[in-house]
A and B are shown apart, each in its own frame.
Chain A
Amino acid sequence: QKEVEQNSGPLSVPEGAIASLNCTYSDRGSQSFFWYRQYSGKSPELIMFIYSNGDKEDGRFTAQLNKASQYVSLLIRDSQPSDSATYLCAPLRSGGSYIPTFGRGTSLIVHP
């Protein structure tokens, strides 16, 4: 069973701080990794994706990938209360699949 592990949290950070969200995955063949944000009672929305080892920055968000360690993370700089949500890690299945396996998500709370 391919699994995605995330700390359920909640992770609480003060406004303006850096929030660090981590994810490990068991499918060694996964090549593409997606981060989604899901507000309570809403559907997920794509934040960013990463395919290559290293860092990828998009505005206040930075995704980090280490395929050898089967680890992917998301950093949120200058955290805002509006960032309070559940963040879902979703690597695509191996074998060239375009189907993601979702983790249970990490709940982030940014307090003023």
Chain B
Amino acid sequence: GAVVSQHPSWVICKSGTSVKIECRSLDFQATTMFWYRQFPKQSLMLMATSNEGSKATYEQGVEKDKFLINHASLTLSTLTVTSAHPEDSSFYICSASQGAAKNIQYFGAGTRLSVL
């Protein structure tokens, strides 16, 4: 149980375009979803936390107008990278937690974004 599906796994886009990444909890209701970014050889950096039906809480330094997060249902959250630039190229990972066990996060497989 506790499977999180992330799609796409790999995307290449042109500079200036927008990219949407989906994160789904397949067998549980995710009350909270998290979005991370990881550059090579670096740690996971939390970008934002989202709760179903409410606005995402962004970490300091993360541009909310550039990284749009929507958590419209208990099983789906999306991250849209708007007007992507080469410096946005990174590994984006979502995770989800359920119910009272918010401490336990289940990770998606990640999305590798390359902006040309």
Closest partner residue, chain A, to B102 (CB atom): A98
Given contacts A88-B44, A98-B97, A104-B42, contact A43 B109 (CB under 8 A): yes
The answer to the question of A49 belonging to the interface, with a C-beta cut-off of 8 Å to chain B, is yes
Mask of B31-60 contacts with A, CB within 8 angstroms, 1/0: 010100000011111100100000000000
Query: In the complex, what residues of B have CB within 8 A of residue A42's CB?
Result: 109-110
A39 CB to closest chain B CB (Å) equals 11
How many residues of A are counted as interface, with CB atoms below 8 angstroms from the partner's CB atoms?
20
CB pair B43–A98 under 8 Å, yes or no, is no
B90 CB to closest chain A CB (Å) equals 13
The answer to the question of A32 belonging to the interface, with a C-beta cut-off of 8 Å to chain B, is yes
CB pair B43–A103 under 8 Å, yes or no, is yes
CB pair A43–B105 under 8 Å, yes or no, is no
B17 CB to closest chain A CB (Å) equals 24
CB pair A46–B43 under 8 Å, yes or no, is no
CB pair B41–A44 under 8 Å, yes or no, is no
The answer to the question of A92 belonging to the interface, with a C-beta cut-off of 8 Å to chain B, is yes
The answer to the question of B93 belonging to the interface, with a C-beta cut-off of 8 Å to chain A, is yes
B21 CB to closest chain A CB (Å) equals 13
Query: In the complex, what residues of A have CB within 8 A of residue B107's CB?
Result: 43-45
Residues of A within 8 A of B (CB): 4, 8, 32, 34, 41-46, 49, 88, 92, 98-100, 102-105
A-B contact pairs, 28 of them (CB 8 A): A34-B103, A41-B112, A42-B109, A42-B110, A43-B107, A43-B108, A43-B109, A43-B110, A44-B44, A44-B107, A46-B104, A46-B105, A46-B106, A49-B103, A49-B104, A98-B32, A98-B97, A98-B102, A98-B103, A99-B34, A99-B46, A100-B46, A102-B43, A102-B44, A102-B45, A103-B43, A104-B41, A104-B43
Residues of B within 8 A of A (CB): 6, 32, 34, 41-46, 49, 93, 97, 102-110, 112
